Chains A and B, each alone.
Chain A
Amino acid sequence: MTSSSNCAHEVLAVLAKDLRSEYRTRYALSAVLLFAVTALAVVSFSVSPYSLEADAQSAFLWIVLFFSAMSGLSRSFVREEEARTAMALRLAAAPEAVYLGKLLFNITLQGAVVIVVVPLFLVLMDIAPAHPGLLVWAAVLGTLALASSSTIVAAIVSRANAKGALFAVLAFPVTLPGLSSAIRATTAALQGAVGRARAADDLRALAAYSVLMIATSLLLFDFVWND
């Protein structure tokens, strides 16, 4: 009882530390958000004369979200290594607490990006989603999937040499099952005509993917962190 509440306390402490340092510098948020908005603007003004099919729209949306995640989510661990604070963090908190704290921070960061990008996308591309509820679910679970796969990859990358270039290379094959399910669920939400059962299948696959990634990461994180 005490150990579990202690662990939750540590998780929240790591999250609060990251949020505070992010609030002070706003480095990751501004980089990721500006990247996402820039990419969205490029997509929007290059295709605005055409009305796209729903599957092309959802593909564009998730390409923007995926690459904005790639541009910023590795910061959480890379910053610790660059600022040489990783050792202090290793002493202060249990590995699982560090992982969960960073995961929550990445979910928050990517969630903030999604909250800005998805409405902007709907406005710029002039889309009225057929199933708004489904779209929200796809966005929430897709955010969870992106954050859960990229947190452990970020931890791996922060211990390697070519940090920036390596992150997308390592994350893409691992993220692809989640990304593809998110694209399909979003397509169903935008189209409407597609059966809801199929979208529910995709959402379930997305949730299963996130749970699998988080569970595997919790088991493996110690080997990345304390080596």
Chain B
Amino acid sequence: MLTRCARLLTGLKWFLGVWMTVVVIAAFFYAPAARNLGQMSRIIYFHIPAAWVTVLAFLVCTVYSAKYLRSRRAEDDAAASFSAELGLLFCVIATVSGSIFAKAIWGSYWNWDPRETSIFILLLIYGAYFALRSSVDDPARRGSLAAVYGILAFVTVPLLVFVAPRIPAVQSLHPDGPILVADGGLDMDARMMTVFISSLAGFTGLFVWVFSLRMRAWHLVQRLAHRQED
């Protein structure tokens, strides 16, 4: 049973590797360039999935935080912190790639566009989360304080979605036109759509895979620590 499960996981891992390779190749050679943005539009196959994983990781972190507060199992706390680590990584990827794109298209690396504001605050939240974790010594207390802060920060994010577009600096520069239509629908070529959705799935799979790797490593370390105690 265990070996079959392990073999399935190995198979999935290889499948993910092939999938991501195909997505990267397809993003450059299969999908056509968007009308107004030209070759620059290819960022959507990497930037938006990274931003999506940032938010997904935050959600996973919140769910595990709530689970930790209920169960007090060290495993849930570790899961929450691993998810936040991955979220921070993808948040940096999304911020940097978006910033380079902004320089190429709009002429400045940063200008407090609402979505830039939102992702900057996500970066700050992730940073604060780890600052808090590193300043508490006792593991149980660290777990519950970090969990409370994670949930508290997560609760404010929907408000941010309401507030950020109203910050007076500039109206959004994000390209609603060629990709997202005003009413929220998608206006993409069928091939672009295929690659985009595949990339979203691939990035999600990547997150799940690295997350499970971290959890397995954590379990191994725990087991070793127990063995040394015995």
Contacts and interface: CB of A to CB of B under 8 A. Distances in A.
A19 interface: no
B10 to A, nearest CB: 39
Contact of B144 (A161, A170, A223): A223
A160 B136 contact: yes
Contacts of B128: 169-170, 172-173
B221 to A, nearest CB: 24
Given A159-B145, A223-B69, A152 B152 contact: yes
A82 interface: no
B102 interface: no
A37 interface: no
B64 to A, nearest CB: 14
Residue of A159, A187, A213 ringed by the most chain B CB atoms within 10 A:
A159
B145 A174 contact: no
A166 B160 CA distance: 22
Residue of B121, B125, B128, B152 ringed by the most chain A CB atoms within 10 A:
B152
Given A160-B132, A170-B132, A172-B124, A220 B156 contact: no
Contacts of A102: none
A160 B151 contact: no
Interface in B126-185: 127-128, 131-132, 135-137, 140-141, 144-145, 147-149, 151-153, 155-156, 159-160, 162-164, 166-168
Contacts of B140: 227
A159 B163 CA distance: 31
Contact of A177 (B135, B147, B163): B163
Nearest to A216: B155
Interface in A39-61: 55
B136 A177 contact: no
A166 B131 contact: yes
Interface in A147-202: 152-153, 156, 159-162, 166, 169-170, 172-174, 176-177, 180-181, 184, 187, 202
Interface stretch (A27-35, A92-100, A204-212): A204-212
A209 B132 contact: no
B88 to A, nearest CB: 13
A156 B159 contact: no
Interface string B69-85: 10000000000000000
B131 A170 contact: yes
A187 B121 CA distance: 22
A37 B137 CA distance: 37
A61 to B, nearest CB: 16
B162 A166 contact: no
B134 to A, nearest CB: 9
A87 to B, nearest CB: 15
Contacts of A161: 135-137
A217 B148 CA distance: 9
Residue of A161, A169, A172, A223 ringed by the most chain B CB atoms within 10 A:
A223
A224 interface: yes
A224 B145 contact: yes
A156 B131 contact: no
B159 A177 contact: yes
A180 B145 contact: no
Contacts of B163: 176-177, 180-181, 205
Given A177-B163, A205-B162, A213-B155, 13 more contacts: A153-B152, A156-B148, A160-B135, A173-B124, A174-B125, A174-B153, A180-B164, A184-B167, A208-B159, A212-B155, A217-B152, A220-B152, A227-B145
Interface of B: 69, 121, 124-125, 127-128, 131-132, 135-137, 140-141, 144-145, 147-149, 151-153, 155-156, 159-160, 162-164, 166-168
17 contacts: A156-B145, A159-B145, A160-B132, A161-B136, A162-B135, A169-B128, A173-B128, A174-B153, A176-B163, A205-B159, A209-B159, A212-B155, A216-B155, A217-B152, A223-B148, A227-B141, A227-B144
